[in-house]
Structure 1
């Protein structure tokens, strides 16, 4: 391990916090030290997370009822689906470790089976995964009644709309989406903000019999963790936040938060291309030549000319951008995406060759290898919704919790064209992801339960916990840039930042060095020394044996 150098910190210089944000909602009052109200215990039942495999006899499941509206705690309830992996050494059990994978809208139910935490943690803790309210198995928020009805709206949305017609079509579709939510989602749509998830989490903490919370939150889950620390600082035993949001910015200015997310994706992309070129071909298939110039040429070509492959499949700017973004989330996807990028580069050049040959500028083109075409096809596929599980045998198999949470948490203008008009200037700052990120917000402009009407926790985030919060940030995290993790550490009242030198989203389970620090923290409440810079266990482009 090493200390973070000034050069490493410089990757976030373009991501500095912009002064001035939207008006804050009133912060929810944190509870005092009064005695806790008792809640019903969780009624666990044995279950098997994978019925195709022998029952390991270590898992239990439950649906725990919590108030739908905490202003009316004795009124209607909603169920939270929970799974636990019982501690392997019950005699030395410390308590429960609650887990959230992010999203928002990510299903955490099966995270009870996660291998991100080592044997020592599994011996001493019950691992508890849960689907937050409105997600997957927990009374999923549903804006449509059938998959066909959803497709009729969603298929009209262009992920990276460029022309005026594409933009208008996309905005019309987002408004129809919001109208469907208004008709079909029911009262839960008004109670999806993070403050409610945190209240649910505190109820579950009491319901499993823990006097204090042990929690690991990833990505959006870091907002859950930070909010818990802000609301219940005296109830924190150990809290890990990995791949962090900037809580203050996210809850006060959704537009600026999204702009800085786009810049973070650009930083991660630049580092991916740099490391690919340094590795060279064949370790990185795209590493032959100037990776930056090749990438930019392909992206700019797609902006006006979708590439039609020999079998009729089209690579569009939208799918290209989402596939590249998806690959930056995980080192394991980066060698495959490099292979696809090289294939697309070859196809574009081959398709341009006939015109050049006709003008005497190049030799007649050779046919493109079918294997190359197959590699390029990966860039044509839509990216599935990450961390979300489609439950079988339902007329509408998805849920709409992503916007259900985001639109209640993040303040946006009420006119979707205000956001659409930001796409062009954002694209100048962030050529690959500026327009892509600008069109994540218009749905919230017309959302039937927007942030301006919701009860939200907007800080302060600086209340001190007895044990420092363990903040983990990757230097080149695409989705939650490293500057967000730095700000999370500063905003919390008592926190230590550990950094990992990797292009990836979140780090726990990816570094043996980090795993040792995590284990010591959870078991012994020993905060890591500040300023550590760790390495992952693997490289995206390892040497070829």
Structure 2
């Protein structure tokens, strides 16, 4: 679950919060089908996997990798999966699912698949940057995979789902909170160019969904660990994958960990309000921390934040990544209100011992130098950009490097569930309720003029393009609610004080699935997938090594 950067064009804050090649020795498996028709699923289950040396492009930089990671100790492979699991109107290339395996130090008792979430984050990368508990790496092969469309899991023909870097980058510098319908229409015009380009460049974008990812994972399970149940640690969106898997493949469920679960509430408006309330509390904490650091009152600190937000709205905050020179400052460009507010939101994803320091630094820089540098850096990093590639006084002078993480995130969220747009009266009601539960956030995201658009959605969206195209399946209008027909013991882990996926989501998931709930006295998102908490690590080890029946426990935040 994450923050969308798209301006509010549908209805108030409802739209603001969403939720290199590896080569083995064998040639890619491609199904034998010259014309569209029923999918021969068994042929995918019957393929063989060949582990081999990982291509250098799959390896992350040494300074990012975990201290115990050694690239010579991992192997890589890919497994072919059908792009669609039902008969399609046209032939669509297979996906090749990329995997990296860290082999058990001792004799392997089995395998544990991992995914860090997103949608759009690489499991291949997670194998490299995680310091896994030794008892797990001694006894299990750890296998990270990139879901279809993510990083190295591309189509078998080598193509990938990816939007234009340039049209994507430009959207960050459009008006974040339009002050009139005229300004809103100007933003929509720019966004429509981006969507039209994306759709044209990616005719099979609609094949990205969690239902398909879960089906892919079952093929991968059987090909990699024939006849064995799935052991899996999913963090954040990875829990969405886990929920679909345990619901749809109950006969193959092994040990499954839901780390910082996404919502299972069928009332998604209520879930959005719940998340707004959690983000409001987190924002208030940041402001109080800055107030304490600068020896100000809370009200004075909050007023400072709002003044800076207005400067950003008036094109008077500057950074390193913009497309229009600042003029009065050398080697700096005009930043944007969207990057200021998104940079604040990005703090929610940082470890708690770092977030406040970076927030204080970012506000101090803006006050002293009108610099939005720090917030820009984290905002772009959150969406898969390499910030160091964004220097340059114009778009032409930049050498943009980014993953396709953002488009994957939005497309998957769209194809998993798209609630039909609220009516104008419902939009106004939600706006009022949002202001009640999150008055600071609504102020931060609203224009000083007080303008707020209510009415039919403006402009293009993945949802509208799916609805309008008869060849594309319509996104579900009702949210998926997972179940546990397997009856296997599942493990739910959540931080008590985080806001990305509030702890109440973990409580609801545990109740829905009849699972054991482990709480962590922490603000950290995905406390299990970070593998830095000794108590949580012990729980994971006990769970996977079958050291007795699991029981609810509260782990301290610090190891």
Normalised-by-shorter TM-score class: 0.7 to 0.9
Unaligned runs of 5+ in 2: 1-41, 63-68, 319-327, 390-398, 447-451
| Deviation (angstroms), 1:155 | 4.5
Could you tell me how far apart the structure 2 residues matched to 1:183 and 1:416 are?
A: 30
Q: Is the 8 A contact 2:417 2:475 kept in 1?
A: no
Query: Residues 269 and 36 from structure 1, CA distance in 2 versus in 1: closer, same or farther, beyond 3 angstroms?
Result: farther
Could you tell me how far apart the structure 2 residues matched to 1:247 and 1:328 are?
A: 21
Could you tell me how far apart the structure 2 residues matched to 1:65 and 1:424 are?
A: 45
Deviates more, 1:130-139 or 1:295-304: 295-304
Q: Secondary structure at the match of 1:215?
A: strand
Q: TM-score, normalised by structure 1?
A: 0.73
Any idea what the Cα deviations from partners look like across 1:137-168, whole Å, max 9, x if unmatched? 11275354x5334445x346444555544433
What is the correspondence of 1:5-404 to structure 2 with a 5 Å cutoff?
A: 38-47=45-54, 50=59, 56-72=71-87, 76-89=93-106, 91=107, 93-139=108-154, 141-142=160-161, 144=163, 146-152=164-170, 154-155=171-172, 157-161=174-178, 163-187=180-204, 189-210=205-226, 211-249=228-266, 253=268, 256-273=270-287, 280=292, 285-286=293-294, 288-291=295-298, 293-299=300-306, 302-303=309-310, 305=314, 307-308=316-317, 311=329, 316-330=336-350, 331=352, 332-344=354-366, 347=367, 372-373=368-369, 377-381=373-377, 383-386=379-382, 388=384, 398-399=403-404, 400-404=407-411
Could you tell me how far apart the structure 1 residues matched to 2:483 and 2:282 are?
A: 29
Could you tell me how far apart the structure 2 residues matched to 1:104 and 1:52 are?
A: 22
Q: Secondary structure at the match of 1:524?
A: coil
Match of 1:31 in 2: none
Any idea what the Cα deviations from partners look like across 1:272-325, whole Å, max 9, x if unmatched? 445666xx4xxxx35x23346413542255246554467366564322221121
| Deviation (angstroms), 1:405 | 0.3
Any idea what the Cα deviations from partners look like across 1:67-93, whole Å, max 9, x if unmatched? 11111499742111111111111x2x1
Q: Is the 8 A contact 1:42 1:207 kept in 2?
A: yes
What is the correspondence of 1:450-465 to structure 2 with a 5 Å cutoff?
A: 453-454=474-475, 458-465=479-486
Q: Secondary structure at the match of 2:524?
A: coil
Q: Secondary structure at the match of 2:375?
A: coil
Q: Secondary structure at the match of 2:239?
A: helix
Could you tell me how far apart the structure 1 residues matched to 2:461 and 2:273 are?
A: 15
Match of 2:5 in 1: none
Could you tell me how far apart the structure 1 residues matched to 2:337 and 2:216 are?
A: 40
| Deviation (angstroms), 1:529 | 2.0
Any idea what the Cα deviations from partners look like across 1:194-245, whole Å, max 9, x if unmatched? 1000001111111112511111111111111111111122322111111211
Q: Is the 8 A contact 1:63 1:80 kept in 2?
A: yes
| Deviation (angstroms), 1:190 | 2.2
Match of 1:28 in 2: none
Could you tell me how far apart the structure 2 residues matched to 1:99 and 1:51 are?
A: 17
Q: Secondary structure at the match of 1:476?
A: coil
Please, what is the CA RMSD of the aligned residues?
A: 3.9
Unaligned runs of 5+ in 1: 1-34, 348-371, 538-545
Q: TM-score, normalised by structure 2?
A: 0.71
| Residue from 505, 527, 539 that aligns with 1:517 | 539
Any idea what the Cα deviations from partners look like across 1:56-110, whole Å, max 9, x if unmatched? 4321112211011111499742111111111111x2x122211111111112222
Match of 1:473 in 2: 494
| Deviation (angstroms), 1:183 | 1.5
Any idea what the Cα deviations from partners look like across 1:30-67, whole Å, max 9, x if unmatched? xxxxx999432322112265487797432111221101
Aligned residue-pair number: 460
Could you tell me how far apart the structure 2 residues matched to 1:46 and 1:203 are?
A: 22
Could you tell me how far apart the structure 2 residues matched to 1:514 and 1:533 are?
A: 7
